[in-house]
């Protein structure tokens, strides 16, 4: 009994302990795995969750440049069970600050005088075949910028406790000796011509208008930033329609890092410091994604951190620390035999520890757009490895350009960056042993697949003899496995040994089948590489590098075979970085000038064209050319594309014209920028589509709108289509005549049938009457007063049959005739043998559905169905994903020329974008710029805050804000300080 009571006491305490354990575990799990910091803001009508308490928010004043405005206080919930740093403090802004576009009359100074420069003549363009602009059968490309390869939509899976894998710094397989590192160029920067226009003081009215526009841009930014920090804090992107979040990159808070310098430039200091404070919560050594997209990570994250450090004048050490942390992870991607980076770097140790090569199909923009970020980091930290990594990529591109690319010095979209001539390798292939990689069931899904260094030699296997097992429990010949404790990979079968003929023990790797007296290395070896474990790291790296060289015939960068050349997506920023890297290095590295000049020569010769547009605007675009292996000797045909991504080129050409003093290129830059302004104005929403085709002018000097030629481009089969319609009309007229003849014949046939039927009915009726009363229906013609004669059967042959006629007054006879005739008419009208007559033509009847469209009808139908703006022959992608390239070039043109008309063009673009994309929480990408109202896609890329709104803001800032004579902006609009 006593034991039973004790058992009850123990059971009671066990229950209490279990309950407390469950409660404590649930709280700890929330702390460890929860990441919903930003969902603590109360919505209207929501009840307070129990674990939270209300806290009075801090209030702040907006930037002094903003006009005084009422503040709106909001209540924010704070989760005391979580680190307070993870939840951003609240900042009050008035969400009603959005105002309608300014109606204030703007008294702007006259356009500054610009010296007249002779234009650079462009070659005449061959008019492409009609189907070059695309037909209904053309495939719609997945334009690189719409869904960049660096983006990866991760599935939303429930969080489960699991061990987190972290990146670890690995010993390099192909190191660069310290003495061989490429260092930053030294010396005083060369004198570079002034880039920005020398602005005069603005008038009071111009200043008021400019500041009003600037304020509206900042308000739009603040709304999107507040939506991000409320619903997507520490995640990559905000879903601005639904208030959710997305992590298409590595889950390292892309929007937060990308927008840091914009916060500083707009004077939002408190928001900047809040974001910098939460950078420590980002761990660049782990990610839910298995690979790191080098291009997107470098331009957004590394560029964002370095630029924020620069604009804040180095006051926040956290920014530099996080930049170095990320850079060390990314440096592993450059550890290849030719030092070309792996563009999608598998960072987990199972792969990172293995030798690997760059891709045989690397994207040019991703390969060549890493230089600015690593160079600026090297300048700040004095670490030469960062500059060495990107300088080798530039050297490889420069060497290829000097050697000769397939198109006069411009590079194709895809590049073989492996450094290995596979054709040579196949011809000279030698057998090589395969390294032994132990199987690890925990990491089976991330089994290394990269390049593996071959063994130094191929050794024949020794013949082995097995001693019979005396203790076999399963009969003679059974095998017994002996496993070293704690090391299952070192298991061996007991009794398996090799012997000399004299019975002595021999080595397991017998180098010679001869005497057996040769010296043999019995030291343990690395199962990954096959090299001795006691070999020094330097020796291991040297041997592995030599083995890698023997694996294939080394080569430089090469074409992949089928090449596409353009200034658009997938190639753009490699060329953009040439003048910018020249500026960042103070003009001390001359190869960037050489590479830019060669590129621009090819662009002028092959890619620039003037489109034929309804208003005859003098504008320019750049097209693309494709070269295939079978037709390399033929002249490539220019495809007259219009891509939003290519709109950066106006700014690039304008910048290059000033930096390298290229006379005439500034005029080209203006026309290229105006081309994108026209593309914005041409659509229903006032926004340029992602990509389309237009019709080129044969001459860039003389080009007028030709609607006939435009319609022929929309319908290359127009002449045959009209011939088909004419043939159809002729056939239709012939059929009409045939039907008319058939109608007349049917009418005559009906009359004949009716007459025959009436005759037969009369005869039948006469015979019936004869049977009843021979005299009732027969009237004999006699003289008046005479009596009827005898019947025929009485008179015999004396009476002629023709003299007997039926009486039409007899009612029975009339009924029989009428009924019989009616039946015959119904039978004839039934259409068994005689069709019904056709209806008379009616002008109000529906159109003939079988009639083919004429050329004019087809063109009108296509324009209507595809919503084609005037001048476009095809729209390949009608999306707009909040892109910045057009306003980027507009800003460059304003800063370089001083012409304030660019501010007006930019304002029209801003109001159109705001009206079409604005949501409650931010701004959303739209599916089709040719339809109104637009469909919102619930996506807000980080570059909306990093680039697009930054360029709009800078367009209405004073010229000394991020001056082009002091700063260089990377392709994500992150400004880096130029050397003094």
β-strands 691-694, 872-877 pairing: antiparallel
Q: For residue 452, which of 437, 431, 430 has the smallest C-alpha distance?
A: 437
Question: For the chain, what percentages of helix, strand and coil (3-state, to nearest 5) are there?
Answer: 40, 10, 45
* Number of separate helices (H) and strands (E) present in the chain: 27, 27
Phi-psi region of 540 (alpha: psi -120 to 50; beta: other; left: phi over 0): alpha
Catalytic residue among 37, 366, 544, 885: 885
Q: What are the distances in angstroms from CA 333 to CA 26, 389, 557, 577, 739?
A: 40, 10, 17, 21, 80
Phi, psi of 563 (to 5 degrees): -115, 140
Residue with tokens 């057996």: 516
Determine the Cα–Cα distance for residues 406 and 563; give it in Å rounded to an integer. 8
Q: Could you give the CA distance from residue 692 to residue 568 in angstroms, rounded to a whole number? A: 12
Q: Count Cβ neighbours within 10 Å for each residue of 906-922 and write b for 16 or more, e otherwise.
A: bbebbbbbbbbbbbebb
Q: Is 729 a catalytic residue?
A: no
Helix 384-403 with 317-331: angle, nearest 10 deg: 50
Per the rule left: phi > 0, alpha: psi between -120 and 50, beta: everything else, 528 is: alpha
**Three-state helix/strand/coil letters over 366-432:** HHHCCHHHHHHHHHHHCCHHHHHHHHHHHHHHHHHHHHCCCECCECCCEEECCCEEHHHHHHCCCCC
| 278 noted as active-site residue | no
CA angle in degrees (0–180, nearest 5) for 322-323-324: 90
Residue 690 is a catalytic residue: yes
Where would I find the beta strands (DSSP E) of 702-776? Answer: none
Q: In 10 A of CB 223, how many CB atoms?
A: 21
Question: Cα 490 from chain centroid?
Answer: 49
Catalytic residue among 79, 667, 690, 715: 690
Contacts for 611 with CB less than 8 Å, ≥ 6 apart: 619, 621, 640, 642, 675, 694, 695, 696, 697, 871
Q: Quick check: is 885 catalytic?
A: yes
Round to whole Å and give the CA distance between 323 and 305. Answer: 6
d(CA 480, CA 485): 15
3-class state of residue 531 by DSSP: coil
What residues are designated binding site for Ca(2+)? 971
Q: At what angle do helices 303-311 and 317-331 cross, to 10 degrees?
A: 150
If residue 806 lies in a helix (H) or strand (E), which one and from where to where? strand 804-806
For the record, the structure tokens of 497 come out as 């040994």
In the numeric block, which tokens belong to residue 689? 């589509």
Q: Which helix (H) or strand (E) holds 694?
A: strand 691-694
Query: Furthest-apart CA pair in the chain: how many Å?
Result: 166
| Catalytic residue chosen out of the listed positions 247, 258, 572, 641 | 572
Write down the catalytic residue from 79, 220, 236, 296: 296
Tokens of 66: 């903003």
CA neighbor of 232 nearest in space, from 38, 86, 85, 42: 38
Neighbouring C-alpha atoms within 13 Å toward the C-beta of 746: 18
Task: Show binding-site residues.
Answer: 971
Cite the DSSP H helix spans in 434-536: none
264 Cβ contact list (under 8 Å, min separation 6): 272, 308, 311, 312
Name beta bridge partners: 293: 344
Tokens 């035999």 — which residue? 337
Beta strands in 501-656 (DSSP E): 553-554, 558-559, 563-565, 608-609, 621-622, 624-627, 638-639, 641-643
| Three-state DSSP class for residue 747 | helix
Active site amino acids: 296, 572, 690, 885
């Amino acid at each position: 009994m006593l034991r039973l009571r004790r058992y009850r006491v123990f059971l009671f305490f066990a229950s209490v302990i279990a309950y407390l354990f469950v409660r404590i575990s649930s709280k700890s799990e929330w702390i460890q795995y929860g990441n919903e910091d930003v969902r603590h803001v109360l919505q209207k009508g929501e009840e307070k969750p129990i674990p939270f308490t209300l806290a009075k928010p801090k209030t702040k004043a907006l930037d002094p440049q903003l006009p005084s405005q009422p503040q709106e206080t909001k209540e924010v919930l704070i989760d005391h069970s979580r680190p307070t740093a993870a939840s951003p403090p609240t900042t009050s802004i008035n969400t009603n600050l959005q105002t309608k576009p300014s109606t204030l009359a703007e008294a702007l100074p006259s356009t500054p005088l610009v010296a007249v420069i002779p234009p650079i003549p462009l070659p005449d363009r061959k008019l492409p075949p009609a189907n070059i602009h695309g037909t209904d059968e053309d495939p719609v490309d997945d334009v690189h910028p719409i869904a960049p390869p660096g983006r990866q939509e991760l599935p939303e899976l429930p969080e489960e406790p699991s061990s987190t894998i972290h990146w670890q710094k690995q010993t390099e397989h192909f190191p660069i000796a310290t003495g061989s590192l490429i260092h930053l160029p030294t010396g005083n920067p060369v004198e570079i011509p002034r880039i920005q226009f020398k602005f005069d003081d603005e008038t009071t009215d111009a200043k008021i208008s400019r500041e009003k526009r600037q304020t509206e841009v900042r308000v739009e930014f603040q709304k999107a930033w507040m939506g991000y920090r409320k619903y997507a804090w520490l995640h990559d992107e905000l879903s601005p329609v639904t208030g959710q979040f997305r992590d298409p990159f590595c889950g390292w808070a892309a929007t937060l890092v990308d927008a840091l310098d914009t916060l500083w430039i707009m004077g939002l200091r408190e928001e900047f410091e809040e974001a910098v404070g939460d950078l420590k919560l980002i761990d660049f050594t782990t990610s839910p994604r298995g690979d790191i997209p080098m291009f997107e990570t470098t331009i957004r994250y590394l560029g964002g951190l370095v630029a924020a450090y620069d604009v804040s004048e180095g006051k926040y050490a956290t920014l530099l620390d996080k930049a170095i942390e990320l850079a060390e992870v990314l440096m592993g991607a450059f550890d290849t035999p030719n030092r070309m980076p792996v563009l999608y770097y598998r960072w987990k140790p199972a792969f990172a520890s293995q030798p690997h090569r760059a891709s045989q199909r690397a994207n040019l923009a991703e390969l060549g757009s890493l230089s600015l970020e690593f160079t600026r980091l090297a300048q700040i930290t004095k670490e030469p490895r960062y500059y060495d990594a990107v300088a080798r990529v530039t050297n490889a591109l420069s060497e290829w350009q000097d050697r000769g690319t397939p198109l006069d010095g411009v590079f194709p979209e895809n590049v073989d960056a492996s450094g290995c001539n596979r054709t040579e390798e196949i011809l000279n292939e030698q057998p090589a042993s395969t390294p032994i990689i132990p199987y690890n069931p925990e990491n089976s899904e991330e089994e290394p697949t990269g390049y593996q260094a071959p063994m130094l030699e191929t050794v024949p296997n020794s013949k082995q003899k097995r001693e019979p097992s005396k203790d076999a429990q399963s009969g003679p010949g059974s095998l017994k496995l002996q496993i070293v404790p704690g090391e299952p990979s070192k298991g061996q079968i007991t009794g398996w040994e090799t012997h000399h003929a004299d019975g002595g023990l021999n080595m397991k790797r017998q180098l010679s089948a001869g005497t057996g007296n040769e010296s043999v290395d019995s030291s343990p070896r690395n199962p990954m590489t096959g090299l001795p474990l006691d070999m020094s790291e330097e020796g291991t790296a040297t041997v592995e590098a030599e083995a890698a060289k023997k694996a294939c015939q080394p080569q430089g960068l090469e074409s992949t075979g089928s090449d596409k050349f353009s200034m658009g997506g997938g190639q753009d920023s490699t060329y953009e970085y040439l003048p910018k890297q020249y500026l960042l290095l103070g003009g001390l590295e001359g190869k960037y000038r050489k590479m830019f000049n060669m590129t621009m020569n090819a662009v002028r010769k092959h890619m620039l064209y003037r489109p034929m547009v309804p208003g005859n605007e003098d504008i320019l675009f750049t097209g693309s050319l494709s070269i295939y292996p079978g037709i390399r000797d033929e002249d490539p045909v220019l495809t007259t594309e219009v891509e939003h991504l290519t709109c950066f080129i106006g700014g690039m050409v304008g910048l290059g014209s000033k930096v390298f003093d290229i006379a005439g290129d500034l005029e080209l830059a203006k026309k290229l920028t105006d081309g994108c302004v026209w593309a914005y104005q041409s659509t229903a929403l006032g926004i340029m589509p992602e990509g389309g085709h237009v019709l080129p002018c044969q001459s860039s000097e003389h080009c007028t709108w030709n609607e006939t030629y435009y319609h022929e481009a929309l319908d290359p089969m127009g002449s045959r289509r009209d011939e088909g319609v004419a043939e159809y009309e002729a056939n239709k007229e012939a059929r009409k005549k045939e039907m008319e003849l058939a109608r007349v014949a049917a009418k005559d046939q009906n009359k004949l049938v009716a007459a025959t039927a009436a005759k037969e009915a009369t005869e039948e009726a006469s015979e019936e009457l004869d049977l009843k009363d021979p005299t009732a229906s027969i009237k004999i013609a006699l003289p008046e007063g005479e009596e009827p004669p005898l019947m025929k059967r009485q008179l015999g042959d004396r009476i002629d049959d023709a003299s007997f006629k039926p009486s039409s007054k007899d009612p029975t006879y009339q009924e029989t005739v009428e009924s019989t005739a009616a039946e015959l008419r119904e039978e004839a009208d039934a259409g068994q043998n005689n069709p019904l007559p056709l209806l008379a033509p009616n002008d109000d009847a529906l159109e003939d559905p079988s009639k083919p469209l004429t050329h004019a009808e087809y063109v009108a139908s296509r324009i209507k169905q595809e919503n084609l703006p005037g001048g476009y022959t095809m729209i390949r992608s009608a999306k707009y994903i909040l892109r910045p390239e057009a306003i980027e070039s507009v800003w460059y043109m304003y800063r370089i020329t001083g012409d304030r008309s660019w501010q007006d063009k930019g304002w029209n673009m801003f109001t159109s974008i705001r009206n079409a994309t604005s949501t409650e929480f931010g701004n959303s990408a739209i599916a089709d710029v040719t339809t109104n109202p637009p469909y919102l896609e619930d996506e807000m890329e980080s570059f909306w805050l990093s680039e697009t709104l930054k360029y709009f803001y800078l367009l209405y800032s004073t010229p000394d804000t991020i001056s082009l004579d002091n700063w260089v902006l990377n392709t994500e609009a992150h400004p880096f300080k130029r050397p003094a």
